[in-house]
Amino acid sequence: MLEPLNDALSHIEDHLGDRIDMAELARIAMTSEYHLRRMFSALAGIGLSEYVRRRRLTLAGAEVIAGRRTLLDISQSYGYASSEAFARAFRAMQGIGPSEARRTGAVLAAQPRMSFRLTIEGSAAMRYRIVHKDAFAVVGKKARVPLVHEGMNADLMTFIRGIDPSTLQRIAALSDQEPRGIAGVSDGLDVHRGEGTEFDYYHAVMTSAEPPADLDQLSVSAGNWAVFESSGPFPTTLQYLWRDIFTQWFPSQPYRSRPGPEIVLTRLLNEGTEADAELWIPVELESAVR
């Protein structure tokens, strides 16, 4: 799995002055564009498009300081439509415009070229199963909340606590399939998973029942799900599990992620400091889409 990813990174380096076709990049990486973006951000800690942008500006910055070519020539070499667009992007990364950087010989930030190498990890077993589910509906209450990578999500917790107990009872009564009970369902997550990016959170159940008009609904198509179990400090263990799924489990399995919501069923313990949880990730076999 790592060799195709590194081939994709080499393709980026060879085409930093051109428009990089993400579909072609996914073909080189032998996966889907959706999974490539999610895999890259999990492994690298930075979105794929942001990495490409920063690599372009790193090379362009070196040329700006060298002073051998005009700023217009440099901007065109790295795919910017105008010197103004280049200057805006340069300032966003460096905090200084290219003309001023050249004039003062400024110290610039650089994005090193990345490559992925195998390290021996995964000494702890990851408990999972593959489940096929027919089409179903997510029914409950929805809110738009920011993504938080580590620690409690204050906006999400405020939303949950604000749901009336009688409404929670009505939602729970609609549960008629796995995962049973009220779960947290995350939909519309930004593919780069940037801290603070917003997504739709449903405090909801999975059901085939007709939902009441006052509840929110999300239709989910049929497909396979990888179901992972975790136990430990909450929410840290669950957040680390998601990271490990993309950095350890996917690279060693014949599956890739597919578009769809992610589902977390949580049972809090010890006054909410620990939890047993199931994390449902929509997946498909790699061989089914090549």
Are 227 and 188 in contact by the 8 Å Cβ rule? The answer is no
At 25, list the tokens. 């990049």
Do both 253 and 162 map to the same domain?
A: yes
Continuous segment of H or E residues that includes residue 243: helix 236-244
Question: CA-CA distance, 116 to 79, in Å (whole number)?
Answer: 26
| Strand ranges (E), the chain | 128-133, 136-146, 183-187, 198-207, 216-220, 223-233, 255-257, 262-269, 274-285
**Antiparallel, parallel or unpaired: β 216-220 and 198-207:** unpaired
To the nearest whole number, what is the mean pLDDT of the chain? 88
Q: Is residue 217 predicted with pLDDT exceeding 80?
A: yes
pLDDT at 285 over 90: no
Does residue 136 sit in the same domain as residue 272? yes
Same domain, 91 and 134: no
In this prediction, residue 114 carries a pLDDT of 86
Assigned token pair, 89? 């992007």
Shared-domain flag, residues 67 and 157: no
**Hunting for tokens 């995964």 — which residue is that?**
122
Burial of 174 (0-12, 13-18, 19+ CB in 10 A): buried
Q: What is the DSSP letter of 272?
A: G
The enclosing domain of 97 has a CATH number of: 1.10.10.60
Distance CA 14, CA 59 (A): 12
CATH classification at residue 263: 3.20.80.10
- Full domain range(s) for residue 86: 2-104
Greater pLDDT, 249 or 141: 141
Report the C-alpha gap between 271 and 250 in whole angstroms. Answer: 33
Residue 134, CA atoms < 13 Å, CB-side half-sphere: 4
CA-based nearest residue to 197, from 147, 242, 262: 147
Q: Are residues 54 and 93 in the same domain?
A: yes
Quick one: tokens of 260? 């769809």
pLDDT at 116: 77
Q: Which of 72, 104, 136 is the last residue of a domain?
A: 104
Angle between helices 2-14 and 48-66 (to 10 degrees): 40
Tell whether 48 and 151 lie within a shared domain. Answer: no
* Residue range 171-203, pLDDT digits in tens: 999 999 999 999 999 999 887 777 788 999 999
pLDDT digits (tens, 9 = 90+) for 118-167: 554 444 556 788 899 999 999 999 999 998 877 788 999 999 999 999 99
Cβ neighbours, 10 Å, residue 217: 16
Does any domain span residue 123?
Answer: no
